[in-house]
Structure 1
């Protein structure tokens, strides 16, 4: 009788919840990401199987393994953060890259080129999993390196998740970049991490206002705040138009203080989770952490 392949043993270990077996099977640094990119007969990766079967300890283990092995340059404290990976906003035409499933009789074009094959691991899960669930599993703001936030953002952009989901993904990742800089003990040059967050929000606005393929704009509707939230945040209201965001960017540039961006990040998170549908209304660990 033939012995199971490494691929077969990995999927079996995931389904059985065996971290020790996975640790042994994924011990070779040269093949870790290749093995985690493998697919079963249903075209599912090990991480996707763990998410679908709610194997929470396995999810944590696999996500940590990916974080420890992704191939992204680590020079994130430099003002050249935009060169941190091969991805560049300048290469993205928001009217053409993936903005959700094509409407009937409408042309749909996917032009985004992956900056790294590793991005497929998260990208393909994002195509099939609710973004709020993914944020819960993938992001640990307190401990994650900025390069991981960049990697996840790139993965979401490269995915073909529905347009509304991609807007949420960009807005939440923008909030994460902003909060990360505020919580960091490192003094970042030129508020570069905060700027990255504002770039995410800018692209989210472009997606909201896109009329490509006959789509209609999706307006941002601010969430009414509780008295407790209003007391914590103050009189700041959420930005609902690109021009307001541009003014915030200019304020950040000339005043060199990201406090307004921080308040916006909190408002984004409160709105997103306050307006989620019933299906995803259960407590979310990402929401609680932020």
Structure 2
């Protein structure tokens, strides 16, 4: 059970499927008393916070919470869940001196300089340059995108809703699948394809039949099912190209893959093929060859990012 200590910080990482919480001591970045909770257990986010505090006995003085959705006027609505989170309401209910809400991928981006080497796995390409701009791309329940830029000796996170940009097909097979997704969704955003639900949607568009959950698509691919293997291969090809576009957009020297989908598919990644798609940017191919691609394997990167943002405040 966590003790109440002066200056304790509650950190939270709230996605469309899970909430993760921890407590950070003053001056630290690593959280203790980490708990992960299924969103479906709670009618509202405040109920999840209350359950965590009761479970751990923690009595933090302030909070930084990363939310899977845009933050405006100290409030946020989750993109993939009917939750509204209000900083002032959280402060009142739990007696917190200050509550800061940030986009979840702002927190992911803020964590990147502070991750230990064993929390990163390089996907081909070069080692990252320490002071180069960084981009975070995360297929999960949705698709998060953010950047971290160096300015005046400080790391500055840049929020983005880049996961909702339009996605382009590059061959007839993709074009046919995208046409089906467009008829069903009205448009083809990157998130419509490059997410857990997107993997399921892509498989159905490519192969018909009932929509399989993403977990079943990856399980069938692991069993060498040809249809599932094709879906995963096309998904990874699109992800490589999209992440290259993100690197160009932010002038990033490295792209870090976060979220829950790619770790489950990493065994299918051919680094050479992935880098080929990532680097295929015409006149900027040489610059792309110097841009690193890495998988973030730490499940608590978002909490580290929240602590880093609190330290900068």
TM-score of the aligned structures, taking structure 1 as reference length: 0.30
Name the one with the larger strand percent: 2
Greater percentage in helix: 1
Q: Whose RCO is larger (CA < 8 A, sep 6+)?
A: 2
